[in-house]
């Protein structure tokens, strides 16, 4: 089983919505291993609400931390330790994909010695990078891609979120030499029908079938 890792250029960039959409479109399983911040609920709960999928399709995360902080600090406050040994992948059927949603951006620390990207490299899956289309996205996205490539993490491509901004999207794709997987517009409603329709209108399932970023 090769997981598909959904990461982003920043927190709040749209990873959870993209993850929910991909879980539906690819008939996959969804897993958020590290949740930092529970005051407004969890991303697992949001994906359940958006997709209507049963708990069996949404394996429970390894760490649900109370504070909305970088995982390394939130874990310290809760008195727990995050490391590679306690972040083994959950078991899913061999013929199904596992969509993993990362916490925050690519270089967020998970403890005092490891970054999120180190965890991605440990899992061995391909990454889908979620990026805004707003001002500043070129710099943020290219830096995130550099960090992934420096750790030999295969990048399947970029999912842009927001209004169409060709003069921002095109330079990213050309400079980084990565695939533009599609753009998810801001949806007025987040539910099964809307997510399926958005995928059908803006994405191609075959672009997500590769698992090696190539």
Burial class (CB in 10 A: 0-12, 13-18, 19+), 112: exposed
**Separation CA 193–CA 38 (nearest Å):** 27
- Is 179 one of the annotated active-site residues of the chain? no
Greatest Cα pair distance in the chain: 46
**Full strand arrangement of the beta sheet holding 4-8:** 29-31, 98-105, 4-8, 126-132, 155-161, 180-184
Identify whether the C-beta of residue 28 lies closer than 8 Å to the C-beta of residue 35: no
Identify whether the C-beta of residue 112 lies closer than 8 Å to the C-beta of residue 71: no
Q: Given 15, 32, 149, 179, which residue is catalytic?
A: 32
**Separation CA 94–CA 2 (nearest Å):** 9
H-only helix segments in the chain: 15-25, 43-51, 71-78, 116-123, 137-150, 166-176, 192-202
User: What is the set of active-site residues?
Assistant: 32
């Amino acid at each position: 089983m090769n997981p598909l890792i959904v990461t982003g250029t920043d927190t709040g960039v749209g990873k959870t919505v993209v993850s929910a959409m991909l879980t539906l479109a690819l008939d996959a399983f969804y897993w958020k291993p590290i949740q930092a911040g529970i005051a407004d609920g969890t991303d697992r709960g949001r994906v359940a609400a958006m997709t209507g999928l049963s708990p069996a399709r949404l394996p429970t995360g390894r760490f649900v931390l109370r504070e909305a902080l970088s995982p390394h600090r939130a874990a310290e406050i809760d008195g727990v330790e995050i490391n590679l040994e306690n972040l083994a992948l959950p078991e899913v059927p061999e013929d199904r994909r596992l969509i993993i949603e990362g916490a925050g951006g690519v270089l967020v620390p998970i403890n005092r010695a490891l970054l999120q990207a180190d965890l991605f490299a440990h899992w061995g899956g391909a990454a889908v990078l979620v990026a805004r289309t707003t001002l500043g996205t070129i710099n943020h996205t290219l830096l995130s891609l550099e960090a992934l490539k420096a750790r030999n993490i295969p990048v399947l491509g970029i999912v842009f979120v927001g209004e169409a901004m060709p003069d921002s999207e095109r330079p990213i794709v050309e400079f980084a030499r990565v695939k533009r997987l599609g753009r998810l517009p801001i949806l007025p409603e987040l539910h099964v029908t809307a997510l399926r329709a958005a995928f059908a209108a803006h994405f191609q399932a075959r672009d997500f079938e590769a698992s090696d970023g190539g």
